[in-house]
Amino acid sequence: MQFRTAISMSMGAALLTACTLDTNLPQDTFANEAVERGQIVYAKECSQCHGAAGEGAGPASLGLGVVPPELVGLSAGNAGIFPRTYVRQYVLGLTEENDLAGPMPDFARVGLHHVHPKGGADGEVLETDFESLLDYLEAIQE
Protein backbone atom coordinates (compact mmCIF):
# COMPACT_ATOMS: atom_id res chain seq x y z
CA MET A 1 0.00 0.00 0.00
CA GLN A 2 2.83 2.41 0.83
CA PHE A 3 4.43 1.61 -2.52
CA ARG A 4 1.21 2.60 -4.37
CA THR A 5 1.00 5.83 -2.40
CA ALA A 6 4.61 6.68 -3.20
CA ILE A 7 4.06 5.95 -6.91
CA SER A 8 0.87 8.02 -6.97
CA MET A 9 2.57 10.95 -5.27
CA SER A 10 5.55 10.75 -7.65
CA MET A 11 3.29 10.70 -10.69
CA GLY A 12 1.27 13.61 -9.31
CA ALA A 13 4.40 15.64 -8.72
CA ALA A 14 5.64 14.86 -12.23
CA LEU A 15 2.32 15.94 -13.74
CA LEU A 16 2.28 19.17 -11.76
CA THR A 17 5.83 19.93 -12.82
CA ALA A 18 4.89 19.39 -16.47
CA CYS A 19 2.01 21.87 -16.13
CA THR A 20 4.03 24.75 -14.74
CA LEU A 21 5.48 27.55 -16.84
CA ASP A 22 9.11 27.25 -17.82
CA THR A 23 10.55 30.30 -16.11
CA ASN A 24 13.81 29.77 -17.98
CA LEU A 25 12.17 30.96 -21.20
CA PRO A 26 12.93 34.54 -22.18
CA GLN A 27 10.20 36.96 -21.09
CA ASP A 28 9.79 37.93 -24.76
CA THR A 29 8.42 34.43 -25.44
CA PHE A 30 5.33 35.14 -23.34
CA ALA A 31 4.97 38.62 -24.82
CA ASN A 32 5.18 37.23 -28.35
CA GLU A 33 2.51 34.64 -27.57
CA ALA A 34 0.23 37.38 -26.23
CA VAL A 35 0.80 39.52 -29.34
CA GLU A 36 0.06 36.52 -31.58
CA ARG A 37 -3.13 35.80 -29.64
CA GLY A 38 -4.03 39.50 -29.85
CA GLN A 39 -3.55 39.42 -33.62
CA ILE A 40 -6.09 36.58 -33.81
CA VAL A 41 -8.56 38.53 -31.65
CA TYR A 42 -7.97 41.65 -33.78
CA ALA A 43 -8.47 39.74 -37.04
CA LYS A 44 -11.77 38.32 -35.84
CA GLU A 45 -13.21 41.32 -34.00
CA CYS A 46 -11.65 44.53 -35.36
CA SER A 47 -10.13 44.13 -38.82
CA GLN A 48 -13.39 44.32 -40.75
CA CYS A 49 -13.81 47.95 -39.73
CA HIS A 50 -10.29 49.07 -38.80
CA GLY A 51 -8.45 47.31 -41.63
CA ALA A 52 -6.30 44.18 -41.71
CA ALA A 53 -3.24 46.01 -40.40
CA GLY A 54 -4.98 48.70 -38.32
CA GLU A 55 -4.75 51.27 -41.10
CA GLY A 56 -8.47 52.12 -40.89
CA ALA A 57 -11.29 51.80 -43.41
CA GLY A 58 -11.72 48.01 -43.48
CA PRO A 59 -14.27 46.45 -45.84
CA ALA A 60 -17.18 46.57 -43.37
CA SER A 61 -16.69 50.30 -42.81
CA LEU A 62 -18.09 51.27 -46.21
CA GLY A 63 -21.70 51.49 -45.06
CA LEU A 64 -21.09 53.03 -41.65
CA GLY A 65 -21.23 56.66 -42.71
CA VAL A 66 -18.02 57.32 -40.78
CA VAL A 67 -14.47 56.14 -41.38
CA PRO A 68 -13.18 54.08 -38.44
CA PRO A 69 -9.89 55.47 -37.18
CA GLU A 70 -6.59 53.91 -38.09
CA LEU A 71 -5.10 52.27 -35.05
CA VAL A 72 -1.40 52.20 -35.94
CA GLY A 73 -0.94 55.87 -35.00
CA LEU A 74 -2.38 55.81 -31.49
CA SER A 75 1.06 56.20 -29.89
CA ALA A 76 2.09 58.92 -32.35
CA GLY A 77 -0.98 60.91 -31.34
CA ASN A 78 -0.11 60.47 -27.67
CA ALA A 79 3.49 61.72 -27.42
CA GLY A 80 4.87 58.33 -28.48
CA ILE A 81 3.19 56.43 -25.66
CA PHE A 82 0.55 53.79 -26.37
CA PRO A 83 -2.62 54.95 -24.52
CA ARG A 84 -3.43 51.49 -23.17
CA THR A 85 -5.85 52.58 -20.45
CA TYR A 86 -7.78 54.88 -22.78
CA VAL A 87 -8.00 52.23 -25.52
CA ARG A 88 -9.25 49.69 -22.96
CA GLN A 89 -11.92 52.08 -21.71
CA TYR A 90 -12.98 53.14 -25.20
CA VAL A 91 -13.35 49.60 -26.53
CA LEU A 92 -15.32 48.61 -23.44
CA GLY A 93 -17.62 51.62 -23.86
CA LEU A 94 -16.46 53.34 -20.68
CA THR A 95 -15.51 56.81 -21.98
CA GLU A 96 -17.60 59.92 -22.42
CA GLU A 97 -16.74 59.86 -26.14
CA ASN A 98 -18.56 56.56 -26.65
CA ASP A 99 -21.70 56.97 -28.73
CA LEU A 100 -24.13 54.20 -27.88
CA ALA A 101 -25.86 54.73 -31.23
CA GLY A 102 -22.53 54.82 -33.09
CA PRO A 103 -21.01 52.02 -35.14
CA MET A 104 -18.38 50.97 -32.58
CA PRO A 105 -19.69 47.98 -30.62
CA ASP A 106 -19.64 48.14 -26.85
CA PHE A 107 -17.51 45.05 -26.32
CA ALA A 108 -18.25 45.03 -22.60
CA ARG A 109 -21.86 44.35 -23.59
CA VAL A 110 -21.58 42.31 -26.80
CA GLY A 111 -18.46 40.33 -25.94
CA LEU A 112 -16.05 38.77 -28.37
CA HIS A 113 -18.63 36.88 -30.39
CA HIS A 114 -16.28 36.17 -33.31
CA VAL A 115 -13.50 34.86 -31.09
CA HIS A 116 -15.98 32.74 -29.14
CA PRO A 117 -18.65 31.94 -31.77
CA LYS A 118 -20.27 29.31 -29.59
CA GLY A 119 -20.46 31.78 -26.73
CA GLY A 120 -17.42 30.38 -24.92
CA ALA A 121 -17.47 31.85 -21.44
CA ASP A 122 -20.82 33.37 -22.44
CA GLY A 123 -19.00 35.41 -25.09
CA GLU A 124 -17.80 37.97 -22.56
CA VAL A 125 -14.57 39.82 -23.07
CA LEU A 126 -12.10 37.52 -21.40
CA GLU A 127 -9.36 39.45 -19.66
CA THR A 128 -6.60 37.41 -21.31
CA ASP A 129 -8.10 37.94 -24.78
CA PHE A 130 -8.47 41.64 -24.16
CA GLU A 131 -4.96 42.06 -22.76
CA SER A 132 -3.62 40.20 -25.78
CA LEU A 133 -5.56 42.52 -28.09
CA LEU A 134 -4.01 45.53 -26.35
CA ASP A 135 -0.56 43.92 -26.62
CA TYR A 136 -1.11 43.47 -30.36
CA LEU A 137 -2.32 47.04 -30.85
CA GLU A 138 0.72 48.31 -28.97
CA ALA A 139 3.00 46.12 -31.13
CA ILE A 140 1.68 47.57 -34.43
CA GLN A 141 2.25 51.21 -33.53
CA GLU A 142 4.23 53.22 -36.07
Asked if the model's pLDDT at residue 14 lies above 80, the reply is no
pLDDT exceeds 70 at position 13? no
Highest mean pLDDT among 8-12, 52-56, 112-116: 52-56
Residue 16 has pLDDT above 90, yes or no: no
Q: What is the pLDDT of residue 108?
A: 77
Nearest residue to 88 (alpha-carbon basis) of 72, 112, 108: 108
The pLDDT, as a whole number, for residue 119 is 54
Tell me the C-alpha distance between 130 and 132, whole Å: 5
Mean pLDDT (the chain) is: 76
pLDDT score at 15: 35
Instruction: Evaluate whether 44 touches 107 at the Cβ level (below 8 Å).
Output: no
Rounded CA gap, 126 and 110, in Å? 12
Domains of the chain: 32-139 (1.10.760)
Q: Give the DSSP letter of residue 71.
A: S
Radius of gyration (Cα) for the chain, nearest Å?
20
Residue 55, pLDDT score: 93
CA distance 76 to 88: 17
Distance CA 41, CA 44 (A): 5
pTM of the full predicted structure?
A: 0.71
Distance CA 85, CA 7 (A): 50
> Which amino acid does the sequence have at 85?
T
The pLDDT of residue 95 is 84
90-135 per-position pLDDT tens digit:
888 888 776 766 788 877 777 777 776 555 555 455 778 889 999 9
